[in-house]
A = this chain, B = another copy of it.
Amino acid sequence: MARKPGSRSEITGPRLREAALRLFARDGYAAVSMRQIAAEVGVQAGALYLYTADKQSLLADLMADHLEALLAAWAAEAPRGDARARLDHFARFHIRFHAARADAVFIAYMELRNLTPENFARIEALRRRYETELEQILRDGQAEGCFAVPDTKLAAMALIAMLTGVNTWFREGGRLSLPRVEDIYVDMVLKAAGAGGLPR
């Protein structure tokens, strides 16, 4: 037996990426073997190398794709208006987007140290572009006088850490719905920025 009946690269390729994403998120990059991934795909390990150069670039590509999708999704929303409204929008967008892709988010935050220096630089640049989006909102709000933030760079990182933290505990079907969680976090984010909370 060599080629499997019905096998096609447009199917196996995506399946490889899905399996790798799920397993890397669950067990960690270093703890997952190519043979495990192959078993999940339903293929022998050697066949994976038709779809990725090696294990390292499989990880790097998953991370880069996630961050590029994040930036593209944010660019597509392109909120206008005053800084307060844009910060509200950013917080909701961040929670929603990250909740929908928990595995990719987890990998993008946990597996940075398993990247080669070149791949790390590529990924880190993407992450920084996203942070800058938030920092720009904070700077604008500071200029408009509607925020009171001691340091926009620190505040940007603090708020992103807070928002991303949702992923560590949020589970669909839990005590709170996602829109309710968004409300609560938007309230805290706006207050932390000195823009008052959500109207109650």
Contact B197 A148 (CB under 8 A): yes
A sample of 14 inter-chain contacts (CB < 8 A) reads: A26-B113, A30-B31, A150-B184, A155-B184, A157-B169, A158-B165, A158-B185, A158-B188, A160-B165, A162-B162, A188-B192, A191-B192, A191-B193, A194-B197
A181 and B148 alpha carbons, distance in the complex (Å): 16
**Chain A: interface residue count, which band?**
35 or more
Contact B183 A150 (CB under 8 A): yes
Smallest Cβ-Cβ distance to A195: which chain B residue = B191
A41 and B154 alpha carbons, distance in the complex (Å): 38
Contact B27 A28 (CB under 8 A): no
Tell me if A176 is interfacial: C-beta within 8 Å of chain B: yes
Q: What distance in Å separates the Cβ of A162 from its nearest Cβ neighbour in chain B?
A: 4
A residues within 8 Å of B by Cβ? 26-28, 30-31, 110, 113-114, 148-151, 154-155, 157-162, 164-166, 168-169, 176, 181, 183-185, 187-189, 191-194, 197
If over half of A's interface residues share one DSSP class (helix, strand or loop), that class is named, otherwise mixed; here it is helix
Known: A154-B181, A184-B154, A188-B158. A28 touches B113 (CB 8 A): yes
Residue numbers in B under 8 Å from A30 (CB-CB) = 28, 30-31
Residue numbers in B under 8 Å from A183 (CB-CB) = 150
A89 and B29 alpha carbons, distance in the complex (Å): 38
Q: What distance in Å separates the Cβ of A169 from its nearest Cβ neighbour in chain B?
A: 6
Residue numbers in B under 8 Å from A189 (CB-CB) = 192
Residue numbers in B under 8 Å from A176 (CB-CB) = 151, 154
Contact A187 B150 (CB under 8 A): yes
